[in-house]
């Protein structure tokens, strides 16, 4: 297995816009499900045939058709007009166990509610009383829509992207769909080249540079991962490599006040965005026996020079290599011309000769 700068760049580009628009140009479109596609209206979108966008937000609205109230348990069961994508239960479910309700005449039913139980089309929440008046809707994010999508151009103001979530009915309107047309995430050789590249741009919007550093092997000398040990069935010759990488966030700041504001944004918005994109993400490789997830090493302000504020984030993605990934030239021969002096029950047996290739 090997981890490349391009793999890291793709992961950051697909994920970071969901949490911050610091390194991207985000456009809001009016979107509707149209058969097997999502039709997006965005005035003068500027996209061309086969362009790729990154959908960073995809919220749909599900009408609530009915509410059944249980006065004894003080719970309300809401029936949705089509299948939702929520779950239930206590604990951290990544927000998937929270229902966001809007538009109810009864304001007690508007807001975020933990889902106590759920079926495909119902959710049950805690409530002190039965609902009064007009029912509202539930808003939820559809994660299958997030990430890279190839566009099909309809006209200068309209394009479509594929619909991956088959549970969304035709005609459903997205209450929010944001897509990224340009990202400022760049691979650089080192810190100096990254700052030079940034300084050469006329448009000094914040940019995130990916810089790969040294890649070192583990040195614990354990018999199962020490490369100097002979390879046996009991010792398969595993070795852990630890590649280091730095994400350099650079923003143009000419005054101390703007540098302070930029640092505040780094800590409050950019840092958690990079963590969500990298921490625990597993880079897959078919050639690897075991894959390892990204881990954070640290981050710190690098410098501010009255022109640019630079902040570095250090990460590692350890991975394991085995003997099968090295040079292993085993000779392959047919099973033939074998003579066996058989011996059974302590008695000499007759010679057995196989003069033809046999199936094994």
Q: What is the 3-state secondary structure (H, E, C) of the chain?
A: CCCCHHHHHHHHHHHHHHCCCCCEEEEEEEEEEECCEEEEECCCCCCCCCCEEEEEEEEEEEEEEEEEEECCCCEEEEEECCCCCCCCCCCCCCCCCEEEEECCCCHHHCEEEECCEECCCEEEEECCCCCCCCCCEEEEECHHHCEEEECEEEECCEEEEECCCCCCCCCCEEEEEEEEEEECEEECCCHHHHHHHHHHCCCCCCEEEEEEEEEEECCCCCCCCCCCCCCCCCCCCCEEEEEEEEEEEEEECCCHHHHHHHHHHHHHHHHHHHHHHHECCECCCCCCCCCCEEEEEEEEEEEECCCEEEEEEEEECCEEECHHHCCCCCCCCCCCCEEEEEEECCEEEEEEEECCCCCC
d(CA 161, CA 142): 14
Q: What is the pLDDT of residue 328?
A: 61
Q: Output 346 or 115, whichever has higher pLDDT.
A: 115
Q: What is the pLDDT of residue 352?
A: 53
Domains detected in the chain: 26-181 (no CATH), 185-325 (3.30.2000)
Q: What is the pLDDT of residue 358?
A: 47
In this model, does residue 194 exceed pLDDT 50? yes
Q: What is the pLDDT of residue 132?
A: 96
Q: What is the pLDDT of residue 206?
A: 93
Distance of CA 305 to the CA centre of its chain: 34
Both tokens assigned to 272? 């958690």
CB contact set of 129 (below 8 Å; sequence gap of 6+): 69, 108
Dihedral sign for Cα atoms in the order 188, 190, 195, 197: negative
Q: How far is CA 130 from CA 66, 70, 108, 133, in A?
A: 11, 8, 10, 10
Task: Decide: 29 and 41 in contact? Cβ < 8 Å.
Answer: yes
Q: What is the pLDDT of residue 138?
A: 96
Q: What is the pLDDT of residue 305?
A: 85
Q: pLDDT > 70: what percent of the chain?
A: 80
Q: What is the pLDDT of residue 8?
A: 94
Q: What is the pLDDT of residue 360?
A: 46
Q: What is the largest CA-CA distance in the chain?
A: 97
d(CA 168, CA 161): 14
Q: Output 144 or 226, whichever has higher pLDDT.
A: 144
- In this prediction, residue 15 has a pLDDT band, given cuts at 50, 70 and 90, of very high
In this model, does residue 103 exceed pLDDT 60? yes
Q: What is the pLDDT of residue 335?
A: 54
Lowest mean pLDDT among 76-85, 202-211, 287-296: 287-296
Dihedral sign for Cα atoms in the order 139, 145, 147, 148: negative
Q: pLDDT > 90: what percent of the chain?
A: 54
pTM of the entire predicted model: 0.77
- In this prediction, residue 306 has a pLDDT band, given cuts at 50, 70 and 90, of confident
Q: Output 287 or 166, whichever has higher pLDDT.
A: 166
d(CA 76, CA 259): 50
Q: Output 140 or 340, whichever has higher pLDDT.
A: 140
State the average pLDDT over residues 278-305. Answer: 81
Q: What is the pLDDT of residue 290?
A: 60
Task: Decide: 189 and 213 in contact? Cβ < 8 Å.
Answer: no
Task: Tokens 């005054």: give the residue.
Answer: 255
Residue-wise pLDDT for 229-286, tens only, equals: 555 555 556 777 889 999 999 998 888 888 899 999 999 999 999 999 999 888 876 6
d(CA 13, CA 277): 9
Task: Decide: 150 and 159 in contact? Cβ < 8 Å.
Answer: no
Q: What is the pLDDT of residue 287?
A: 58
In this model, does residue 338 exceed pLDDT 60? no
Burial class of residue 218, CB neighbours in 10 A (0-12, 13-18, 19+): middle
Task: Decide: 178 and 57 in contact? Cβ < 8 Å.
Answer: yes
Q: What is the pLDDT of residue 166?
A: 85
Task: Give the mean pLDDT of the chain.
Answer: 85
Give the long-range contacts of residues 254-258, CB within 8 A, separation 24 or more: 254/306, 254/307, 256/304
Q: What is the pLDDT of residue 301?
A: 93
In this model, does residue 203 exceed pLDDT 90? no
């Amino acid at each position: 297995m090997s981890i490349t700068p391009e793999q890291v760049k793709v992961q950051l580009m697909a994920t970071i816009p969901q949490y911050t628009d610091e390194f991207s140009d985000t456009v809001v479109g009016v979107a509707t499900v149209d058969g097997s596609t999502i039709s997006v209206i965005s005035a003068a979108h500027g996209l061309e045939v086969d362009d790729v966008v990154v959908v960073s937000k995809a919220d749909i609205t599900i009408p609530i058709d009915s509410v059944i109230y249980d006065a004894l348990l003080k719970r309300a069961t809401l029936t949705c007009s089509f299948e939702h994508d929520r779950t239930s239960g206590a604990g951290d479910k990544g927000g998937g166990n929270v229902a966001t309700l809007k538009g109810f005449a009864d304001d007690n039913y508007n807001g975020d509610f933990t889902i106590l139980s759920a079926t495909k089309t119902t959710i049950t929440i805690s409530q002190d009383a039965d609902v009064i008046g007009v029912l509202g809707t539930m808003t939820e994010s559809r994660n299958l829509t997030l990430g890279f999508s190839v566009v099909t151009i309809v006209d200068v103001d309209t394009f479509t992207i594929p619909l991956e979530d088959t549970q969304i009915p035709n005609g459903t309107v997205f209450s929010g769909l944001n897509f990224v047309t340009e990202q400022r995430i760049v691979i650089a050789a080192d810190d100096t080249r990254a700052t030079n590249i940034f300084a050469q741009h006329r448009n000094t919007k914040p940019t995130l540079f990916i810089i790969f550093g040294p890649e070192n092997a583990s040195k614990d000398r354990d018999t199962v991962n020490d490369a100097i040990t002979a390879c046996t069935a009991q010792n398969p010759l595993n070795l852990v490599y630890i590649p280091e990488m730095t994400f350099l966030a650079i923003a143009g700041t000419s005054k101390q006040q703007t540098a302070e504001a930029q640092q505040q944004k780094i800590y409050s918005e950019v840092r958690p965005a990079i963590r969500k994109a990298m921490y625990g993400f597993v880079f897959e490789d078919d050639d690897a026996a075991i894959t390892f997830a990204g881990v954070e090493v640290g981050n710190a302000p690098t410098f501010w020079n009255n022109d640019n504020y630079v902040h570095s984030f250090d990460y590692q993605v350890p991975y394991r290599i085995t003997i099968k990934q090295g040079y292993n030239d085993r000779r392959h021969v047919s099973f033939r011309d074998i003579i066996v002096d058989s011996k059974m029950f302590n008695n000499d047996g007759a010679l057995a000769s196989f003069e033809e290739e046999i199936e094994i």
